[in-house]
C-alpha cells in the first residue's frame, strides 16, 4: 500500500528518524475494525519515591475512521483493571487525531478513579499504525511513541436477531420461542437418548466442593426438565440445590466461578417456574457475584488476572454469563450499594468481563485452537464458562464472538488429536496434569462450530458419543446440564463428512507453533503424531518446558507419550544438555502432504530439531518417524529422552517397544549412543546418551519391523527402510522413494 502525506515533527522523527519530509496518503477506509493502540509509557505510578512508567493499550471500534465514543484501556503491568474512557476523533488532512479522556483505576479492587488525558496523532504505516502522543496524568506531562494494529470487526452482528425483552427467559442457551421445537426434538430417537442420559446423570451425587463444584450444573439440569415439561417439582429440586450451592461457597474465585455459571443457567431456565421472591433473591446474588469475579482477588489466594490465565477465563466467563442472565431485570431486584448506584453499572461490569474474554481468545488461544497453558487448563474453562458465554452472547446481544475468531477452531483442533478408547475421547496431552476435557467438550461446543466445519465435527461427535457411538452424547455424572447444549445442537439432518474431507490430515497452528500429523479417522488404531515449537512464551501463567517435545500414538500404542507432570525438562520428549535453551522456538521449515505425512524443523538458541512423519507405507511400516537433533556447540553431554507406555527391550543401538495388542515400534539410532531404560509410574523412560548429534529412525507396525540398511555415517548417512530412503539436509529430513 502506498501513501502520500507530509508529516511534521514529532511524528516525522518517529517515522523516519530525521527531519526529512515523507509523503503518505491518509485513507479513512483503512481505519475500520477493532483497533488497538499502544501508548509507550502512557501511565505511571510512584514506586520507591520515583515515578515508574508503563505502557497502556487503548481498544477502539471504528468504521471508516468514525469510532464509537467508548474506549477501554488495559495496562497489565500498571495493574489488572480495565480503564473506561471517552474518545473524540478528528480527521486532519495529514494525520488521524484522537482525544482520549480516560478514567484510570489505580487499584483493581477499589472503585477510585483518576483522570488521564491523551492527544494522539497517528498515520498508517504498511498494515499498522504509528504515531505520537502527549498527555497528562496526576499533574505530570507524559508523551511518547504510539504503535497500533487493526483487526477485522469483532464481534460480528447477526442478521435477523430478535432482541430479548425485559424479563424474557430463557435467553442464554435457549430462547422461549424454541420451546415447541425442543419438545419435538426431545421425542426423536436422539432426543429420548439425551433426556435419558440427563436423568441418569442427575441421579449421581453432587459435589459442592472441590476444584469444580457442580451443584449449579445439576440445578441447571433440573431446570431444563422443568422448562421443557413445565414441571414445578423439578424447579423446586433445582431451587434446593441452588440454595445449598450458594451457602457452600468456593474457596477461591477458581472454584466459585463454576458455581456462579451453573446457577446463572439454572436461574435462566427456572425463571418462570420460580416466584418473584426467588427471582429477586438470585438476581441480587448474581449481581454481587459478578462484582467479585470481575474485580478479582489477591494473588496470595492464587488469583491470576493475566488475560491468558485459566483463572481469568473461568472467572470472567462466569461473570459475563451471569450478567447476560440478569440484564434488564427490574431495578429493585438489584443491590442498592456502591457497586449498583448507576443505571449502567451492570453493563460496566459486563464490558470488563467481555474484554477479558476477548483478550483470552486473542492471546491464550492459537490460530488453530491450541491453548498456551496446556490442554487441561485450556479445555476446563472452555467447558465450564467460556463456551456457554459465547452462546449466551449471541442469543442475548445478537452478536457473534466466534465468527472469524480463533474460537472457530476449538473443536476441530481436538478432533485432530483425539481417539475414542474405553468410553472416552483421549489424546496425547501437553501441559500440567497431562490431560484435558474430552467427551464434554463436544456437546457444549457443538453450537459454536461454523457451518463449513460442522459436517466434520458432527461426524466425529456422532460416531463416538452420539447415536452412532456410545449414546452418552458427552453428558456425564459431573455435568448433567450438557444435555441442554446437546439437544439444542444435535441436528435432525446433516450431510456428515469424514474430518479428512473437511480439515485435511495435518494441523498447523502457526501462532503457537504446534503441528499434528494424522493418517485417518477410523478407530483407536489411527496415528496421531505431534510436535510443539512453542513459538510464544506467556509469563505469569502455566508453562512447561515443551519446546520440541513430541508425541506419537498409533495402532493402539502410546509409543511416545507425555512424561510426569512436574514441569521439569527431563519429563519431556526432548534432548537435555547442560546449556539452558530459549523459552521459545522458531520454525525454520514445514511441509505437509494429503496423506497426513509431513516434516518440520524447529530452532532454539543452540538446538535444531527436525521431525518427519511418513504414512505412505513405502517403508513397509504403517508409520515411519524420523528425528534429527543438532547442536551448537556440538561437543556436549546430552540425553535424548522419550517416554512410552509400552514395554521396552534394548538391543545395541536399537530399542523395541511392544504394545499389549502385539503392535511394535522399533527405533534405531544412526548416530552412536548408549541406550538405557527406566521404569516410570505410567510406563518407561528411554534415555540415549551421546556427545554429538542424534539421528533416529522409528517404524510402527503390526507385523515384523521392516529391515533397515544404511550407507555412510552420522548425518551423512543414507538410510533405507523398505522402499523409503532417508537423508538429512541443512535444515530438514528428506524422504525419497
CATH of the domain at 559: 2.70.98.70
151, 173, 193 — which closes off a domain? 151
Higher pLDDT, 133 or 76: 133
The answer on pLDDT for 5 being more than 60 is no
**In the 8-state DSSP scheme, what is residue 705?**
P
Confidence of residue 634 (pLDDT cuts 50, 70, 90): confident
What is the model's pLDDT at position 1? Answer: 38
Q: What is the pLDDT of residue 474?
A: 98
pLDDT band at 285 (very low <50, low <70, confident <90, very high): very high
Distance CA 173, CA 225 (A): 14
Q: What is the pLDDT of residues 73-90, one digit of tens each?
A: 999 888 878 898 999 998
Domain end point (choices 151, 171, 188): 151
Least confident of 14-23, 345-354, 437-446: 14-23
In this prediction, residue 583 carries a pLDDT of: 84
Q: How far is Cα 164 from Cα 225, in angstroms, rounded to an integer?
A: 22
Q: Half-sphere exposure of residue 72, counting CA atoms within 13 Å on the CB side?
A: 20
pLDDT for 26:
60
Residue 276, C-beta contacts closer than 8 angstroms, at least 6 positions apart: none
pLDDT at 24 over 60: no
Going by their DSSP bridges, the two strands 674-679 and 684-690 should be labelled as antiparallel
Q: Is the pLDDT of residue 145 over 50?
A: yes
Is 127 found in the same domain as 61? yes
Q: Which of 125, 135, 56 is nearest to 96 (CA)?
A: 125
Position 19 pLDDT exceeds 80:
no
Distances from the Cα of 649 to the Cα of 104, 624, 627, 676, 678, angstroms? 64, 19, 20, 10, 11
What pTM did the predictor assign?
0.92
Do 548 and 680 reside in the same domain of the chain? Answer: yes
368 and 419 in a common domain:
yes
| pLDDT above 70: residue 515 | yes
- CATH number for the domain harbouring residue 254: 1.50.10.100
**To which residue does cell 487525531 refer?**
97
- Tell me, yes or no, whether 464 and 486 share the same domain: yes
Structural domain contains residue 3: no
566 shares a domain with 427: no
What whole-number percentage of the chain has pLDDT above 70? Answer: 96
Q: Which long-range contacts (CB under 8 A, 24 or more apart) does 205-212 make?
A: 206/241, 207/478, 208/244, 208/245, 208/248, 209/248, 209/250, 209/251, 209/255, 210/255, 211/254, 211/255, 212/255, 212/258, 212/380, 212/384, 212/478
Verify that 565 and 639 share a domain, yes or no. Answer: yes
Q: Are 72 and 358 in contact (CB under 8 A)?
A: no
Q: List the domain range (segments joined by +) for residue 474.
A: 156-501
Q: Give the total number of structural domains in the chain.
A: 3
For 413, the enclosing helix (H) or strand (E) is helix 410-417
**Mean pLDDT, residues 522-540 taken together:** 96
Report the pLDDT value the prediction gives residue 6, as an integer from 0 to 100.
35
Is pLDDT above 80 for 118?
Answer: yes
List all residues 6 or more positions away from 266 whose beta carbon is below 8 Å from its beta carbon.
216, 219, 220, 222, 223, 238, 241, 242
User: 144 with 170, same domain?
Assistant: no
Question: Do both 366 and 435 map to the same domain?
Answer: yes
Sign of CA dihedral 164, 169, 170, 176: negative
Q: Are 246 and 144 in contact (CB under 8 A)?
A: no
Express each pLDDT in 419-435 by its tens digit.
999 999 999 999 999 99
Which of the four pLDDT bands, split at 50, 70 and 90, describes residue 109? low
What's the pLDDT band for 23 if we cut at 50, 70, 90?
Answer: very low
Mean pLDDT estimate for the chain: 93
Domain at 94, CATH number: 2.40.128
**4 located within any domain:** no
Amino acid at each position: 500500500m502506498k501513501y502520500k502525506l507530509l508529516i511534521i515533527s514529532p511524528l516525522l522523527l518517529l517515522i523516519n528518524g530525521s527531519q526529512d519530509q515523507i509523503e503518505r496518503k491518509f485513507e479513512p477506509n483503512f481505519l475500520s475494525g477493532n483497533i488497538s493502540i499502544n501508548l509507550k509509557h502512557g501511565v505511571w505510578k510512584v514506586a520507591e519515591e520515583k515515578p515508574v512508567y508503563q505502557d497502556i493499550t487503548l481498544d477502539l471500534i471504528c468504521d471508516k475512521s468514525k469510532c464509537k465514543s467508548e474506549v477501554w484501556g488495559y495496562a497489565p503491568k500498571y495493574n489488572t483493571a480495565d480503564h473506561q474512557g471517552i474518545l473524540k476523533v478528528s480527521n486532519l488532512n495529514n494525520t488521524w487525531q484522537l482525544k482520549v479522556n480516560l478514567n484510570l483505576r489505580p487499584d483493581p479492587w477499589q472503585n477510585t478513579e483518576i483522570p488521564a488525558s491523551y492527544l494522539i496523532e497517528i498515520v498508517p504505516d504498511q498494515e499498522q499504525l504509528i504515531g505520537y502522543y502527549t498527555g497528562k496524568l496526576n499533574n505530570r506531562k507524559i508523551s511518547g511513541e504510539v504503535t497500533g494494529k487493526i483487526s477485522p470487526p469483532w464481534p460480528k452482528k447477526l442478521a435477523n436477531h430478535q432482541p430479548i425483552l425485559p424479563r424474557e427467559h430463557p435467553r442464554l442457551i435457549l430462547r422461549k420461542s424454541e420451546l415447541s421445537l425442543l419438545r419435538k426434538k426431545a421425542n426423536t430417537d436422539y432426543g429420548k437418548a439425551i433426556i435419558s442420559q440427563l436423568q441418569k446423570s442427575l441421579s449421581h451425587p453432587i459435589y459442592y466442593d472441590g476444584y469444580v463444584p457442580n451443584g449449579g450444573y445439576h440445578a441447571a439440569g433440573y431446570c431444563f426438565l422443568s422448562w421443557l415439561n413445565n414441571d414445578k417439582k423439578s424447579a423446586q429440586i433445582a431451587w434446593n440445590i441452588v440454595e445449598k450451592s450458594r451457602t457452600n461457597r468456593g474457596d477461591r474465585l477458581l472454584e466459585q466461578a463454576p458455581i456462579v455459571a451453573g446457577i446463572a443457567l439454572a436461574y435462566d431456565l427456572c425463571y418462570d417456574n420460580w416466584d418473584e421472591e426467588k427471582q429477586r433473591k438470585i438476581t441480587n446474588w448474581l449481581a454481587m457475584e459478578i462484582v467479585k469475579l470481575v474485580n478479582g482477588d489477591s494473588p496470595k489466594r492464587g488469583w491470576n488476572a493475566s488475560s491468558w490465565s485459566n483463572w481469568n477465563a473461568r472467572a470472567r466467563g462466569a461473570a459475563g454469563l451471569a450478567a447476560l442472565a440478569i440484564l434488564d431485570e427490574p431495578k429493585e431486584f438489584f443491590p442498592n450499594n456502591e457497586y449498583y448506584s448507576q443505571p449502567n453499572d451492570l453493563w460496566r461490569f459486563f464490558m470488563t468481563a467481555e474484554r477479558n474474554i476477548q483478550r483470552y481468545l486473542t492471546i491464550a488461544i492459537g490460530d488453530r485452537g491450541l491453548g498456551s497453558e496446556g490442554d487441561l487448563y485450556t479445555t476446563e474453562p472452555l467447558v465450564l464458562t467460556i463456551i456457554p458465554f459465547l452462546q449466551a452472547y449471541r442469543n442475548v446481544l445478537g452478536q457473534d464472538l466466534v465468527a472469524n475468531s480463533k474460537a472457530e477452531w476449538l473443536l476441530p483442533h481436538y478432533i485432530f488429536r483425539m481417539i475414542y478408547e474405553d468410553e472416552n475421547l483421549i489424546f496425547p496431552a501437553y501441559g500440567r496434569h497431562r490431560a484435558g476435557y474430552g467427551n464434554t467438550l463436544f456437546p457444549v461446543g457443538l453450537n459454536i462450530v461454523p457451518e463449513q466445519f460442522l459436517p466434520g465435527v458432527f461426524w466425529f461427535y456422532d460416531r463416538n458419543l452420539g447415536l452412532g457411538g456410545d449414546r452418552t452424547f458427552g453428558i456425564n455424572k459431573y455435568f448433567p446440564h450438557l444435555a441442554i447444549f446437546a439437544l439444542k445442537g444435535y441436528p435432525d439432518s446433516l450431510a456428515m463428512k469424514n474430518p479428512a474431507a473437511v480439515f485435511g490430515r495435518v494441523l498447523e497452528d502457526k501462532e503457537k507453533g504446534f503441528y499434528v500429523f494424522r493418517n485417518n479417522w477410523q478407530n483407536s488404531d489411527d496415528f496421531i503424531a505431534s510436535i510443539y515449537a512453542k513459538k510464544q512464551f506467556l509469563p505469569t501463567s502455566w508453562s512447561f518446558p515443551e519446546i520440541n517435545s513430541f508425541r506419537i500414538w498409533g495402532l493402539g500404542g502410546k509409543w511416545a507419550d507425555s512424561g510426569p507432570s512436574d514441569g521439569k525438562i527431563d519429563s519431556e520428549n526432548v534432548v537435555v544438555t547442560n546449556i539452558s535453551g530459549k523459552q521459545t522456538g522458531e520454525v525454520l521449515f514445514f511441509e505437509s502432504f494429503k496423506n497426513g505425512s509431513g516434516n518440520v524443523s524447529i530452532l532454539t538458541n543452540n538446538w535444531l530439531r527436525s521431525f518427519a512423519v511418513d504414512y505412505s507405507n513405502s517403508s513397509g511400516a504403517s508409520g515411519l518417524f524420523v528425528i534429527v537433533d543438532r547442536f551448537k556447540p556440538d561437543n556436549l553431554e546430552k540425553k535424548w529422552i522419550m517416554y512410552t507406555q509400552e514395554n521396552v527391550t534394548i538391543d545395541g543401538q536399537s530399542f523395541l517397544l511392544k504394545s499389549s495388542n502385539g503392535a511394535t515400534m522399533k527405533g534405531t539410532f544412526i548416530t552412536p549412543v548408549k541406550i538405557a531404560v527406566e521404569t516410570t509410574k505410567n510406563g518407561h523412560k528411554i534415555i540415549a546418551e551421546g556427545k554429538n548429534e542424534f539421528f533416529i529412525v522409528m517404524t510402527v507396525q503390526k507385523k515384523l519391523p521392516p529391515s533397515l540398511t544404511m550407507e555412510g555415517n552420522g548425518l551423512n548417512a543414507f538410510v533405507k527402510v523398505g522402499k523409503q530412503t532417508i537423508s538429512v539436509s541443512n535444515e530438514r529430513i528428506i524422504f525419497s522413494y
